[in-house]
Amino acid sequence: MGRYVIRRLLQGLLTLFITLFLLHYLMALSVQIRGNPALLFFGGERTPDPAMLAQVERLYGLDDACYDRTGDPCLAPFVERMQNYARGDFGTTLTGNQDVGELLAIWIPNTLRLFIFATITLVTLSMILGTWAARHHGRFVDHSVRGTTILIDSVPVFLVLLAYVYIIAVPLTNWARGIWGDESFMGQLFRPSYSADYPWVTIIIPGIIVGTVGLATLTRLVRASQLENLGSDYVRTAKAKGLKRMRITVVHVVRNSMIPIVTGVGYTFAYMLSGAVLTEGVMGIPGMGRMIFQAVQRQETNLVIVGLTASAVVVITVTMIVDLLYAALDPRIRYE
Going from N- to C-terminal start, the domains of the chain cover 2-98, 101-299
CATH of 101-299 among 3.40.50.620, 3.40.50.150, 1.20.1260.10, 1.10.3720.10: 1.10.3720.10
For residue 30, what are the CA distances in angstroms to 25, 289, 295? 9, 21, 14
Q: What is the mean pLDDT of residues 180-196?
A: 88
d(CA 330, CA 336): 11
Between these two residues, 255 and 66, which has the higher pLDDT value?
66
Q: Is the pLDDT of residue 165 over 80?
A: yes
Position 96 scores a pLDDT of 67
Q: What is the mean pLDDT of residues 276-287?
A: 82
Position 11 scores a pLDDT of 86
Please answer whether residues 92 and 103 qualify as being in contact, where contact means their C-beta atoms are separated by less than 8 angstroms: no
Give Cα 160 to chain centroid, integer Å: 18
Q: Is the pLDDT of residue 189 over 60?
A: yes
Global pTM? 0.80
- By the 10 Å C-beta count (0-12 exposed, 13-18 middle, 19+ buried), 26 is classed as middle
For 108-148, write each residue's pLDDT tens digit.
888 889 888 988 998 899 989 998 898 888 899 999 998 99
